[in-house]
Amino acid sequence: MLKSDLVNILVAKKGVTQKQAEATIEVIFGSMKDALVGDGKVGENIEIRGLGAFHVKHYGAYQGRNPKTGEPIAVRAKRGILFRAGKELKDRVNKPGPDGKVPPLNPNQQ
Amino acid sequence: MTKADIIESVYEKVGFSKKESAELVELVFDTLKETLERGDKVKISGFGNFQPRYKRARPGRNPQSGQPIEITARRVVKFVPSQVLKADLNEGFLPDGEKSAEDDDDGADDDEDDDD
């Protein structure tokens, strides 16, 4: 599933134009990105009921090492995103099959 | 940020009514969940990928009693932020000005000695 597939689904199911659907998808994920990035220093966490939560995690700078040469290198402080699936998504993704077990994914789905 | 804020952005920037905006946002997130439920991944360029992952059963422990138990096989969702999102998060990101290597901003205990 790609952004373009989402656009097509909005067009097919809601009768909006291609342009409107594209704008909607861009605004949804654009506003989420903007919230996480924030002013460049402090970002906002996002919580979407049923889907999950995105947290901005701050990592401190540390002294790393080039694993090949052993040379010490300074690694800058940075920020990353942690995602935790919400209850509904967790349960739906992890639904047991008829045998009570959760089936592995098809190799082409991984 | 919650879903209400995202709906508000769609309302303001795309020009749908509040009701239409809410329906469109709901449909997008419902579609994400459905896709992942089927076991397919979702790739949002510029934001990130949501990937279902299969985890084999593995031995675990009840953290309270210490009793060994099997953690059953399961499917989980992994989110991988896009390079663009990562770059935007870290462009010019220097918490409280330039920090040196021994500073740590959130109490993670990774004090290490660096004697050569």
**Which tens digit of pLDDT belongs to each residue from A59-83?**
999 999 999 999 999 998 999 999 9
Alpha carbons within 13 A on the beta-carbon side of B80: 9
Cβ-defined contact of A60 to B108 (cutoff 8 Å): yes
- Mean model confidence pLDDT for chain B: 85
Q: DSSP class of residue A85?
A: E
Tokens of residue B51, six digits: 């990937």
Q: Does B107 touch chain A if contact means CB atoms closer than 8 Å?
A: no
pLDDT at B95: 64
A106/B12 Cα distance (integer angstroms): 41
Q: Report which residue type is found at B115.
A: D
A32 touches chain B (CB under 8 A): yes
Alpha-carbon gap: B19 to the closest alpha carbon of chain A (Å): 12
Q: pLDDT at position A100, please?
A: 86
Q: Across the interface, do A102 and B45 touch by the CB < 8 Å criterion? A: no
Q: Would you tell me how many other CB atoms lie within 10 Å of the CB of residue B50?
A: 25
Q: What is the pLDDT of residues A95-106, one digit of tens each?
A: 998 888 898 988
Q: Does A22 touch chain B (CB under 8 A)?
A: no
Which of the two residues, B115 and B74, has the higher pLDDT score?
Answer: B74
B16 near A CB under 8 A: yes
User: Is B58 in CB contact (< 8 Å) with chain A?
Assistant: no
**CATH superfamily name and code, A45-99:** IHF-like DNA-binding proteins (4.10.520.10)
Residues of A in contact with B77 (CB under 8 A): 52, 83, 85, 89-90, 93
Q: Which stretch of A15-24, B9-18, B100-109 has the lowest confidence by average pLDDT?
A: B100-109
Using a CB–CB cutoff of 8 Å, tell me whether A14 touches chain B: yes
Residues in A closer than 8 angstroms to B53, CB to CB, are 105, 110
pTM above 0.95, yes or no: no
- Sign for the pseudo-dihedral over CA of B14, B1, B37, B84: positive
**Rounded distance, CA A56 to CA B95, Å?**
13
pLDDT band, very low/low/confident/very high, at A87 (cuts 50, 70, 90):
very high
Residue B34 has pLDDT above 90, yes or no: yes
Please choose, from the candidates A101, A68, A23, A82, the residue with its C-alpha nearest in 3D space to the C-alpha of residue B55: A101
Q: Do B10 and A27 touch (CB under 8 A)?
A: yes
Percent of chain A with pLDDT over 90: 82
Asked whether the beta carbons of residue B14 and residue A23 sit closer than 8 angstroms, the reply is yes
Q: Does B47 touch chain A (CB under 8 A)?
A: yes
ipTM: 0.89
Q: What long-range pairs does A95-99 form, CB within 8 A, spacing at least 24?
A: A95/B37
Q: Where are the domains of chain A?
A: 1-37, 45-99
Q: Are B56 and B67 a contacting pair, CB within 8 Å?
A: no
Q: What sign does the dihedral B24-B26-B32-B36 (CA atoms) show?
A: negative
Q: How confident is the model at residue B92 (pLDDT cuts 50, 70, 90)?
A: confident
pLDDT band at A108 (very low <50, low <70, confident <90, very high): low
Paired with A55 in beta bridges are: A82
Beta-carbon contacts of A35 under 8 Å, excluding residues fewer than 6 positions away, are: A43, A44, A46, B1, B5
**CA atoms B16, B22, B26, B29: torsion sign:** positive
Q: Are A33 and B85 in contact (CB under 8 A)?
A: yes
Res A41: pLDDT: 82
Q: Residues of A36-48 as b/e, b for ≥16 C-beta within 10 angstroms?
A: bbeeeeebbebeb
